[in-house]
Amino acid sequence: MSEMIPIERVEGKIFLIRGQKVMLDRDLAELYGVKTFVLNQAIKRNLERFPEDFMFSLNRQEILNISQIVISSSIKHARNVNAFTENGIAMLSSILRSKRAIQVNIQIMRTFTRLRMLLATHKELIDKFKELEGRVDQHDVAITALVTEIRRIIEIEEKPRKQIGFVAGGK
């Protein structure tokens, strides 16, 4: 099944909406090989399994925003679009029991895990850059102090010095 649905295909169907990584009902239905209304019927029959942090309906503006990203513009005219978080997708496996649904869910969970690992690596890189930036800032302060001191020394050396000793000629 992993050959049937490449991880990149699943990644392309994950959106960031309301600060959460979600997949849309029509994309999930396509992956599961069912019609969107069939998927949504199964969800309506098991609505207690899908609290707001597992699944939520998009408002009109969110649908329009997604329609600008999604190649298929038919979403723009949809009356209702449900978005599923990772937990919601995992819950789908308890109501969709076909072999295909099980394999698709496994691939989706692997994709979410991969994204989490990538984000963790990304965060580690950001933290390393911040640490390096702090070191550079500390070095900048030291370098600035060093340059200031060198300039001060140069200014002292450039001041005309009073001559010491006897000057012939009377002055």
Mean pLDDT, 10 residues at a time, over the chain (171 residues)?
64 87 91 90 93 93 79 72 92 82 84 81 73 70 77 67 68 55
Kindly state the helix (H) or strand (E) to which residue 103 belongs, with its residue range. Answer: helix 99-158
pLDDT of 151 reads: 75
Specify the pTM: 0.62
pLDDT at 138: 67
Nearest to 70 by CA among 150, 12, 118, 22: 12
Q: At what angle do helices 25-32 and 36-45 cross, to 10 degrees?
A: 110
3-state secondary structure of 4: coil
Our CA angle for 101, 107, 108, nearest 5°, is 85
Please give the Cα distance from 22 to 129 (Å, whole number): 29
**Cα dihedral 22, 86, 118, 2 sign:** negative
**pLDDT value for 1:** 44
| pLDDT number for residue 70 | 66
Q: Where are the beta strands (DSSP E) in 6-125?
A: 14-17, 20-24, 55-57, 82-84
Contact 57, 82 (CB under 8 A): yes
Q: Which domains are present in the chain? A: 7-119 (3.10.260)
Taking the C-alpha atoms of residue 47 and residue 58, their distance in angstroms, rounded to an integer, is: 16
Beta bridge partners of 55: 84
Structure tokens at 112: 């979410």
CB atoms within 10 A of CB 112: 19
Q: What is the pLDDT of residue 43?
A: 93
CA distance 67 to 49: 28
